[in-house]
């Protein structure tokens, strides 16, 4: 396994200046099952891309390859012009499971990456506390995760991902386990974070409304074999008030996507 | 078991009530059966025997307590380290697990005799027997704790660039603390039994176990009961001690916020 702390090697040519992450002709096979077929995608710096698809379309496989947890059968992952295929730890990663360490406080969980790599310093903790306070967790820094609601725990998990400092963040159905009301609040919260912090986000979901509300572009994937069926640009102005959920553009996009998913 | 700290005052009261009930039942049994004191001594007689013989009994209690405590610590430490080794290295687990189960299937009384033959009448066989009893629940529970760590959590730690040593210390080791205490609590009540069995087999130094045998042989039933009371106190006391330690060491189980010493406070900017 390559050391994730090593800087990636050999810059590659032919990347456009604004391309942050490039997924190049990815194929993943598990025995005779083709999990991903010819998946190619370029993501611009600061872009919010949603990957949308029913279960079994290879969304999570794609994330596991991009994060470096899973080796692709063929294809490569290029980050900032450098090949990072099979190098874990180049991008941030967040799951539907909040994966809190129950014995660490909210702040202790947020500073986990620092603790795991070099030991968290007072400066790390102060910065994390400042960040968390800015996004509504200020009263809970010394709480244990079990004392928080599911939504709050996902906020902590998001803060932990941000504090890890990676410019590209993979979010795998982070709000999938939350109820509809909480989820909408979380989506708005995430958009605010993304606007402030200017990270590049790849967001997996199977919720069509969520994808349209959040994304600059939506990558629609279909199963057997998992592949990209369509890429749609979401032409909705930002910031997006809740009213966009009922605009013609929104509904039009939704219809288009539904045709791919349930044709 | 209710591990909430706020409810800790409640259990204390329940303990008092439980003990009173046991004494009442004991006294009622004596009255109802009409059996003479050398068959079932009434509680008052057991207690007065205990007090009358306190100078001697206190020394014996000290000896048994000493064997129990040292053996317990030995068993706990060995069990914990063994479980960590087994959890980290699969080969060790495969090799050691059958031996562990066999070790517990052999009746402890049967082990006592060969231990005395090997190690003599001193304290060593007692310590080994106590440790033998204590280490098994510790190993089993700590192994469960290690196995309970979420694979996704380990993946996340890897993606965050966590080295194996730090990941072990930060993600895996704390997951064992709760299960460790489950094992330690089971061991705490059994440990004293081990010490008594050790003393029964052969002993150059008198303890409560040897006293129990002698009192029984002399038809000094009240003395047997007095020793029984003291052994029970050792067992219950050990359990409560471990339980209290557990509450202190696993604050996340009983509190919603970190204890004061673990709380974050903004550090002062350097002047």
Tell me: pLDDT of B270 over 80. Answer: no
Residue-wise pLDDT for A83-99, tens only, equals 998 888 899 999 889 99
Residue B8's pLDDT is 57
A141 and A173, same domain (yes or no) = no
A154 interface with B at CB cutoff 8 Å: no
Residue B226, classified by CB atoms within 10 Å of its CB into exposed (0-12), middle (13-18) or buried (19+), is: buried
A178 and A86, same domain (yes or no) = yes
d(CA B174, CA B212): 42
Phi, psi of A73 (to 5 degrees): -65, -40
Percent of residues, chain A, with pLDDT higher than 70: 93
A255 and A175, same domain (yes or no) = yes
Q: Report the CATH number that the domain containing residue B106 is assigned in CATH.
A: 1.10.3720.10
Q: Look at residues A149, A165, A181 and tell me which one is the last residue of a structural domain.
A: A165
- Within a domain: A6: no
Residue A28's pLDDT is 93
Residue B269's pLDDT is 57
Residue B7's pLDDT is 55
- Within a domain: B92: yes
- Within a domain: A78: yes
A68 interface with B at CB cutoff 8 Å: yes
Residue showing tokens 């994966």: A99
Residue-wise pLDDT for B235-256, tens only, equals 999 999 999 999 999 999 999 9
Query: What is the mean predicted confidence (pLDDT) over A61-75?
Result: 92
Host domain of residue B97:
42-229
- Within a domain: B156: yes
- Within a domain: B180: yes
Confidence class of residue B261 from pLDDT cuts 50, 70 and 90?
A: confident
Query: What is the mean predicted confidence (pLDDT) over B200-209?
Result: 87
A173 and A151, same domain (yes or no) = no
Residue A11's pLDDT is 47
Residue showing tokens 């009530």: B17
Whether residues B264 and A129 touch (CB distance < 8 A) is answered with yes
A177 and A160, same domain (yes or no) = no
Residue A17's pLDDT is 53
- Write out chain B residues lying below 8 Å of A105, CB-based: 257-258, 262-264
**Closest-CA residue of chain B to A111:** B160
Query: What is the mean predicted confidence (pLDDT) over B56-85?
Result: 95
Tell me: pLDDT of B3 over 90. Answer: no
Host domain of residue A40:
16-91+168-263
Whether a cis peptide bond, with omega within 30° of 0, leads into B265 is no
Phi, psi of B14 (to 5 degrees): -60, -35
**How many Cα neighbours within 13 Å face the side chain of A112?**
31
* 3-state percent breakdown (helix, strand, coil) of chain B, nearest 5: 80, 0, 20
Among A97, A125, A144, the residue with its CB nearest the CB of B252 is A144
Residue-wise pLDDT for A133-181, tens only, equals 999 899 999 999 999 999 999 999 999 999 999 999 999 999 988 898 8
Residue B2's pLDDT is 45
Q: Report the CATH number that the domain containing residue A80 is assigned in CATH.
A: 3.40.50.300
Torsion of CA A131, A132, A138, A139, to 10 degrees: -170
Q: How many domains would you assign to chain B? A: 1
- Within a domain: A240: yes
Percent of residues, chain B, with pLDDT higher than 90: 71
Query: What is the mean predicted confidence (pLDDT) over B28-56?
Result: 93
Report yes or no: B171 and B154 within 8 Å, Cβ to Cβ: yes
Among A95, A141, A144, the residue with its CB nearest the CB of B256 is A144
Phi, psi of B60 (to 5 degrees): -65, -40
Q: Look at residues A165, A190, A224 and tell me which one is the last residue of a structural domain.
A: A165
A143 and A35, same domain (yes or no) = no
Residue A1's pLDDT is 46
For A139, the token pair is 């009263």
A129 and A247, same domain (yes or no) = no
Query: What is the mean predicted confidence (pLDDT) over A222-244?
Result: 90
- Within a domain: A126: yes
**Closest-CA residue of chain A to B152:** A99
- Write out chain B residues lying below 8 Å of A176, CB-based: none
A178 and A243, same domain (yes or no) = yes
Residue showing tokens 């204590």: B134
d(CA B72, CA B55): 26
Query: What is the mean predicted confidence (pLDDT) over A179-208?
Result: 92
- Write out chain B residues lying below 8 Å of A126, CB-based: 266-267
- Within a domain: A9: no
Among A116, A129, A142, the residue with its CB nearest the CB of B162 is A116
B146-160: b (≥16 Cβ within 10 Å) or e: beebeeebebbbbbb
- Per the DSSP assignment, residues forming a β-bridge with A204 are A51, A172
Q: Look at residues A132, A165, A198 and tell me which one is the last residue of a structural domain.
A: A165
CA distances from A68 to A32, A76, A104, B98 (A): 22, 11, 27, 38
d(CA B212, CA A188): 73
Query: What is the mean predicted confidence (pLDDT) over B259-265?
Result: 88
Q: How many domains would you assign to chain A? A: 2
- Within a domain: A155: yes
Q: ipTM score here?
A: 0.84
pLDDT averaged over chain A? 89
Confidence class of residue B202 from pLDDT cuts 50, 70 and 90?
A: confident
Tell me: pLDDT of B126 over 50. Answer: yes
């Amino acid at each position: 396994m390559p050391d994730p702390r090593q800087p990636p090697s050999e810059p590659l040519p032919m990347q456009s200046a604004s391309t942050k992450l490039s997924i190049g002709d990815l194929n993943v096979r598990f025995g005779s099952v083709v999990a991903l077929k010819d998946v190619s995608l370029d993501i611009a710096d600061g872009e919010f891309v949603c990957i949308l698809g029913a279960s079994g379309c290879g969304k999570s496989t794609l994330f596991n390859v991009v994060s470096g947890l899973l080796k692709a059968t063929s294809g490569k992952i290029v980050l900032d012009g450098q090949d990072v295929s099979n190098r874990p730890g180049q991008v941030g990663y967040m799951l539907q499971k909040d994966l809190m360490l129950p014995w660490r406080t909210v702040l202790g969980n947020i500073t986990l990456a620092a603790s795991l790599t070099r030991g968290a310093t007072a400066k790390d903790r102060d910065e994390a506390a400042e960040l968390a306070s800015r996004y509504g967790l200020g009263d809970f820094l010394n709480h244990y995760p079990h004392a928080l609601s599911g939504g709050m725990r996902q906020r902590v998990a998001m803060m932990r991902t941000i504090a890890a400092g990676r410019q590209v963040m993979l979010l795998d159905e982070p709000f999938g386990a939350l109820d509809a009301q909480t989820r909408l609040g979380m989506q708005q919260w995430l958009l605010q974070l993304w606007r402030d912090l200017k990270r590049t986000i790849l967001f997996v979901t199977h919720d069509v409304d969520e994808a349209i509300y959040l994304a600059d572009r939506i990558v629609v994937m279909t199963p057997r074999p998992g592949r990209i069926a369509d890429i749609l640009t979401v032409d909705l102005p930002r910031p997006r008030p809740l009213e966009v959920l009922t605009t013609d553009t929104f509904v039009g996009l939704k219809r288009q996507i539904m045709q791919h998913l349930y044709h | 078991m209710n591990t909430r700290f706020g409810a800790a005052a409640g259990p204390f009261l329940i303990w008092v009530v439980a003990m009173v009930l046991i004494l009442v039942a004991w006294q009622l049994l004596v009255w109802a059966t009409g059996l003479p004191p050398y068959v079932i001594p009434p509680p008052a007689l057991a207690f007065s025997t205990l007090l009358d013989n306190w100078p001697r009994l206190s020394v014996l209690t000290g000896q048994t307590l000493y064997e129990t405590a040292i053996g317990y610590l030995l068993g706990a430490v060995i069990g914990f380290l063994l479980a960590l080794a087994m959890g980290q290295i699969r080969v060790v687990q495969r090799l050691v697990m059958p031996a562990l189960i066999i070790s517990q299937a052999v009746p402890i009384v049967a082990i006592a005799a060969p231990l005395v033959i090997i190690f003599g009448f001193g304290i060593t066989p007692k310590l080994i027997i106590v440790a033998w009893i204590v280490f098994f629940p510790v190993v089993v529970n700590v192994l469960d704790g290690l196995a309970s760590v979420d694979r996704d959590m380990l993946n996340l730690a890897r993606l965050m660039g966590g080295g194996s040593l730090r990941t072990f210390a930060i993600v895996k080791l704390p997951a064992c603390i709760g299960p460790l205490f489950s094992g330690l609590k089971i061991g705490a009540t059994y440990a004293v039994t081990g010490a008594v069995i050790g003393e029964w087999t052969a002993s150059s130094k008198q303890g409560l176990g040897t006293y129990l045998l002698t009192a029984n042989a002399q038809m000094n039933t009240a003395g047997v009961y007095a020793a029984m009371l003291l052994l029970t106190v050792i067992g219950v006391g050990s359990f409560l001690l471990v339980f209290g330690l557990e509450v202190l060491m696993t604050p996340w189980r009983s509190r919603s916020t970190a204890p004061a010493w673990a709380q974050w406070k903004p550090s002062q900017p350097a002047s």
